[in-house]
Amino acid sequence: MALYADGFVIPVPENKIEAYRRMAAKAGKIWREHGALDYKECVSDDLDVKMGLPFSKGIRAKPGELIVFSWITYKSRAHRDKVNAKVMKDERIAAMCDPKDMPFDGKRMLYGGFKVMVNE
């Protein structure tokens, strides 16, 4: 089966991580209801790496910010487009997207769609 994934990297102020977790849990249920195969949200734990560029440096995290690394999987890009169209029309998502009430700065979110190359 071909797979497709949306990926996100978001800096979240440490004092807002619980609000972000609650929002993400609700969003994950909505994405799954509309057909996403999987929904994962992970928070930084070990960014003191010796090789490569740590996520925190790549996204220019500020002191007191945690990094959230997330992905949603779909059957294909066409499936992703259908699911996301439904999600974006869902009133529950609209209710969570007030910029004044977001637990993170959406302008600093990294996002993209990816063809799955290896699926072991």
pTM confidence score: 0.91
In 10 A of CB 14, how many CB atoms? Answer: 11
Can you give the residue range of the structural domain that contains 23? 4-115
> 37-81 pLDDT, tens per residue?
999 999 999 998 889 999 999 999 999 999 999 999 999 999 999
**The CATH number of the domain where 111 resides is what?**
3.30.70.100
- How many domains does the structure of the chain reveal? 1
Write down the mean pLDDT value for the chain: 94
Asked if residue 55 is part of any domain, the answer here is yes
Task: Tell me whether residue 51 is in a domain.
Answer: yes
In sequence order, which ranges of the chain are alpha helices (DSSP H)? 17-33, 55-58, 77-89, 91-96
pLDDT the model gives residue 63: 96
Expressed in percent and rounded to 5, the helix, strand and coil fractions of the chain are 40, 25, 30
Asked if residue 46 is part of any domain, the answer here is yes
Cα–Cα distance for residue pair 47/23, rounded to 1 Å: 24
Question: Taking residues 114-118, what's their average pLDDT?
Answer: 95
Per-residue pLDDT band at 99 (split at 50, 70, 90): confident
Residue 120 lies in a domain: no
| Confidence band of 1 (pLDDT split at 50, 70, 90) | low
In a domain, 23, yes or no: yes
